[in-house]
Chains A and B, each alone.
Chain A
Amino acid sequence: MKPIDPRLIRRIGPARRYILVTAGLGFLTALLILAQALLIARLLAPVLSPTDLAEDGLHWWGRLMPEGTRTLATGLSLLALVVLSRTAVAWLQERLAHRAGVRVISQLREMVVDHVASRGPRWDSGGRTAQVATLVTRGLDDLLPYFVRYLPQLALALTVTPVMLVVLLGLDWLSAVIAAATLPLVPMFMILVGLVTQERSARHLEAMQRLGARTLDLIEGLPTLKALGRERGPATRVRELGEAQRRATMGSLRVAFLSGMVLELLTTLAVAIIAVTMGFRLIAGGIGIETALAVLVLAPEVYLPLRNVGMHFHASADGLAAADAAFALLDEDADAPARASLGVAPDPRGKVLDVAGLAVATPDGSRRAPADLSFTAAPGRITALRGPNGEGKSTALLALTGLLTPSAGTVAVGGTPVVTDAAAVDEASWLAHVAWVPQRPDLGPAGRTLSLGQRQRTALARAFDSDRALVLLDEPTSHLDRASRADVIARMRALADAGATVVVATHEAEVLDAADAVVEVTAARTGPAA
Chain B
Amino acid sequence: MSARELTDMAALRAAIRDTGVTRWAIARAVLAGTLALGSAVGLAAVSAWLIAKAAQMPSPADVALAATVVRLFGISRGLFRYLERLASHDAALRGVVTLRERTYERLAGSGARVVLGLRRGDIVARMGADLDAIGDAVVRALIPLAVAGTVSAISVAIVAVIMPVAGVILALCVVLAGAVPAVLTARSARIAAVEGTRARAEVSAAALSAMDGATEHRVWGTLGEASGALRTADAEAEHAHELASRPAAWAAGAQTFFTGVALVALLALGVLAADAGDLDGPFAAVVALLPLAAFEAVGAVPPAVQQYFRSAAAARRLAELTEVEDRTDAGPAPAPRASSLELDHLSVAWPGMEPTRPVSASVAPGGVLAVVGRSGVGKTTLLATLAGALPPAAGHATVGGAPSSPALTGTTVAMTAEDAHVFGTTVLENLRVARGDVDEAQAWDVLALVGLDPWVRGLPSGLHTELGAGGRTVSGGERRRLLLARTALTSAPVVLIDEPAEHLDDAGADALRAMVTRMRGEGRTVVLVTHDLSLLDLADSVVTLDD
- Spell out A's residues near B (CB within 8 Å): 36, 40, 43-44, 47-50, 72, 76, 79-80, 82-84, 86-88, 90-95, 98-99, 102-103, 106, 109-110, 113-114, 116-119, 121, 124, 129, 132-133, 136-137, 141, 210, 212-236, 238-239, 242-243, 245-246, 249-250, 253-254, 257-258, 260-266, 268-273, 275-276, 278-280, 282-283, 285, 289, 292-293, 296-297, 300, 388-390, 398, 401, 403, 427-428, 431-432, 434-436, 438, 441-445, 447-448, 452, 459, 462, 478-479, 481-482
- In the complex, B439 has a CB within 8 A of chain A: no
Which residues of the partner chain A approach B250 to less than 8 Å between Cβ atoms? 91
Which of B108, B214, B502 touches A117 (beta carbons < 8 Å)? B214
- In the complex, B178 has a CB within 8 A of chain A: no
Given contacts A79-B264, A226-B112, contact A48 B274 (CB under 8 A): yes
Which residues, 74 to 93 on B, are CB-close (under 8 Å) to A?
74-75, 77-79, 81-82, 85-86, 89-90, 93
Cross-chain contact B245 with A99 (CB below 8 angstroms)? yes
Cross-chain contact B218 with A427 (CB below 8 angstroms)? yes
Cross-chain contact A216 with B209 (CB below 8 angstroms)? no
Cross-chain contact B417 with A223 (CB below 8 angstroms)? yes
Listed by A's residue number, 11 A-B pairs whose Cβ atoms lie within 8 Å are: A44-B270, A48-B55, A83-B256, A83-B264, A102-B241, A117-B214, A129-B208, A221-B433, A223-B116, A263-B78, A482-B547
Cross-chain contact A117 with B71 (CB below 8 angstroms)? no
Nearest-CB distance from A173 to chain B (Å)?
18
**In chain B, what residue has the closest Cβ to A267?**
B78
- In the complex, B420 has a CB within 8 A of chain A: yes
Given contacts A116-B211, A117-B210, A226-B112, contact A231 B55 (CB under 8 A): no
Cross-chain contact B104 with A431 (CB below 8 angstroms)? no
Given contacts A242-B97, A436-B219, contact A445 B205 (CB under 8 A): yes
Which residues of the partner chain B approach A285 to less than 8 Å between Cβ atoms? 57
Cross-chain contact B433 with A292 (CB below 8 angstroms)? no
Cross-chain contact B100 with A238 (CB below 8 angstroms)? yes
Which residues of the partner chain A approach B124 to less than 8 Å between Cβ atoms? 216, 219-220
Given contacts A260-B82, A401-B215, A448-B205, contact A222 B108 (CB under 8 A): yes
Q: Which of B44-52, B159-167, B456-464, B516-524 contacts A (4 or more CB under 8 A)?
A: B44-52
Q: Which of A214, A217, A225, A268 has the most CB of B within 10 A?
A: A268
| Alpha-carbon separation in the docked complex, A272 to B71 (Å) | 6
Which residues of the partner chain A approach B254 to less than 8 Å between Cβ atoms? 87
Interface of A is mostly: helix
| Alpha-carbon separation in the docked complex, A215 to B40 (Å) | 41
Given A91-B249, A283-B54, A427-B218, 6 more A-B residue pairs with CB atoms under 8 Å apart are A80-B264, A98-B242, A230-B434, A263-B78, A276-B47, A289-B55
Which residues of the partner chain A approach B415 to less than 8 Å between Cβ atoms? 227-228
Which of B56, B98, B216 touches A436 (beta carbons < 8 Å)? B216
Which of B100, B233, B257, B275 touches A215 (beta carbons < 8 Å)? B100
Cross-chain contact A230 with B410 (CB below 8 angstroms)? yes
Given contacts A217-B424, A235-B104, contact A280 B60 (CB under 8 A): yes
Which residues of the partner chain A approach B272 to less than 8 Å between Cβ atoms? 72
| Alpha-carbon separation in the docked complex, A48 to B285 (Å) | 8
Category for how many chain B residues contact A: 35 or more
Cross-chain contact A388 with B503 (CB below 8 angstroms)? yes
Which residues, 52 to 75 on B, are CB-close (under 8 Å) to A?
52-60, 63, 66-67, 70-71, 73-75
**In chain A, what residue has the closest Cβ to B58?**
A283
- In the complex, B221 has a CB within 8 A of chain A: yes
| Alpha-carbon separation in the docked complex, A87 to B79 (Å) | 32
Interface of B is mostly: helix
Cross-chain contact A227 with B410 (CB below 8 angstroms)? yes
Q: Which of B222-230, B363-371, B446-454, B507-515 contacts A (4 or more CB under 8 A)?
A: B222-230
Cross-chain contact B123 with A219 (CB below 8 angstroms)? yes
| Alpha-carbon separation in the docked complex, A36 to B229 (Å) | 50
- In the complex, B43 has a CB within 8 A of chain A: yes
Which residues of the partner chain B approach A230 to less than 8 Å between Cβ atoms? 410, 433-436
Which of B77, B202, B218, B249 touches A445 (beta carbons < 8 Å)? B202
Which residues of the partner chain B approach A109 to less than 8 Å between Cβ atoms? 203, 207, 230, 234
Which of A72, A92, A212 touches B271 (beta carbons < 8 Å)? A72
Cross-chain contact A98 with B245 (CB below 8 angstroms)? yes
| Alpha-carbon separation in the docked complex, A232 to B101 (Å) | 11
Cross-chain contact A93 with B252 (CB below 8 angstroms)? yes
Cross-chain contact A213 with B67 (CB below 8 angstroms)? no
Nearest-CB distance from A50 to chain B (Å)?
5
| Alpha-carbon separation in the docked complex, A285 to B60 (Å) | 12
| Alpha-carbon separation in the docked complex, A427 to B82 (Å) | 63
Which residues of the partner chain A approach B98 to less than 8 Å between Cβ atoms? 239
Which residues of the partner chain B approach A296 to less than 8 Å between Cβ atoms? 47-48, 51, 289
- In the complex, B398 has a CB within 8 A of chain A: no
Which residues of the partner chain A approach B251 to less than 8 Å between Cβ atoms? 94
Nearest-CB distance from A216 to chain B (Å)?
6
Nearest-CB distance from A422 to chain B (Å)?
20
Which residues of the partner chain A approach B226 to less than 8 Å between Cβ atoms? 117, 444
**In chain B, what residue has the closest Cβ to A89?**
B256
Cross-chain contact A445 with B229 (CB below 8 angstroms)? yes
Nearest-CB distance from A183 to chain B (Å)?
16
Cross-chain contact B245 with A275 (CB below 8 angstroms)? no
- In the complex, B206 has a CB within 8 A of chain A: yes
Which residues of the partner chain B approach A137 to less than 8 Å between Cβ atoms? 200, 203-204, 207
Q: Which of B63, B116, B230 has the most CB of A within 10 A?
A: B230
Cross-chain contact A443 with B86 (CB below 8 angstroms)? no
Cross-chain contact B57 with A113 (CB below 8 angstroms)? no
| Alpha-carbon separation in the docked complex, A238 to B146 (Å) | 32
**In chain B, what residue has the closest Cβ to A132?**
B211
Which residues of the partner chain B approach A124 to less than 8 Å between Cβ atoms? 211-212
Given contacts A102-B241, A242-B96, A388-B503, contact A398 B417 (CB under 8 A): no
**In chain B, what residue has the closest Cβ to A128?**
B211
Cross-chain contact B423 with A217 (CB below 8 angstroms)? yes
Cross-chain contact B203 with A279 (CB below 8 angstroms)? no
Cross-chain contact A257 with B57 (CB below 8 angstroms)? no
Cross-chain contact B423 with A231 (CB below 8 angstroms)? no
Nearest-CB distance from B227 to chain A (Å)?
6
- In the complex, B23 has a CB within 8 A of chain A: no
Which of A86, A221, A263 touches B256 (beta carbons < 8 Å)? A86
Cross-chain contact A95 with B264 (CB below 8 angstroms)? no
Cross-chain contact B237 with A106 (CB below 8 angstroms)? yes
**In chain B, what residue has the closest Cβ to A123?**
B214
Cross-chain contact B63 with A220 (CB below 8 angstroms)? no
Cross-chain contact A268 with B77 (CB below 8 angstroms)? yes
**In chain B, what residue has the closest Cβ to A103?**
B238
Cross-chain contact A95 with B213 (CB below 8 angstroms)? no
**In chain A, what residue has the closest Cβ to B81?**
A264
Which residues of the partner chain A approach B66 to less than 8 Å between Cβ atoms? 279
- In the complex, B25 has a CB within 8 A of chain A: no
Which residues of the partner chain A approach B282 to less than 8 Å between Cβ atoms? 48
Cross-chain contact B211 with A133 (CB below 8 angstroms)? yes
| Alpha-carbon separation in the docked complex, A269 to B40 (Å) | 11
Q: Which of A293, A401, A432, A445 has the most CB of B within 10 A?
A: A445
Cross-chain contact B40 with A268 (CB below 8 angstroms)? yes
Cross-chain contact A106 with B204 (CB below 8 angstroms)? no
| Alpha-carbon separation in the docked complex, A243 to B100 (Å) | 11
What are the 4 A-B residue pairs with the smallest beta carbon separation, nearest first?
Answer: A229-B410, A272-B74, A83-B260, A442-B213
Nearest-CB distance from B243 to chain A (Å)?
10
Which of A98, A119, A235, A275 touches B248 (beta carbons < 8 Å)? A98
Which residues of the partner chain A approach B264 to less than 8 Å between Cβ atoms? 76, 79-80, 83
Which residues of the partner chain A approach B219 to less than 8 Å between Cβ atoms? 401, 403, 431, 434-436
Nearest-CB distance from A217 to chain B (Å)?
4
- In the complex, B7 has a CB within 8 A of chain A: no
Which residues of the partner chain B approach A444 to less than 8 Å between Cβ atoms? 209, 213, 222, 225-226, 229
**In chain A, what residue has the closest Cβ to B57?**
A283
Which residues of the partner chain B approach A117 to less than 8 Å between Cβ atoms? 210-211, 214, 217, 223, 226-227
Nearest-CB distance from B508 to chain A (Å)?
14
Cross-chain contact B51 with A279 (CB below 8 angstroms)? yes
Given contacts A72-B271, A228-B414, contact A278 B51 (CB under 8 A): yes
**In chain B, what residue has the closest Cβ to A257?**
B85
